[in-house]
Structure 1
């Protein structure tokens, strides 16, 4: 458990949370990794896969 914030990247609560499988807080992680973990990124990836299966003719 964290007892103090770590990192100065990101915003808000990023320095307080360590994602599963990582030993760094979101405030310490590289922006590229944070984007892969983002719920928005996951949603857009799923939407793209769905749209790729549709035919717009």
Structure 2
């Protein structure tokens, strides 16, 4: 998931550099959404690991 967010971030940066503002805006929005989803899933995984008795990373 983090890989997809980084991919869309790179697409957004390249599109912005070339002047494709619509594509850059869409790609950056997708990258932000994927990054937030990744963070939420990461926190859930760490909480689940702590509840099971194992210390978080």
Q: Which TM-score tier does this pair reach, normalised by the shorter chain?
A: 0.3 to 0.5
Identify the structure with bigger relative contact order (alpha carbons < 8 Å, sequence gap 6+).
2
- Structure with more helix by fraction: 2
TM-score by length of 1: 0.37
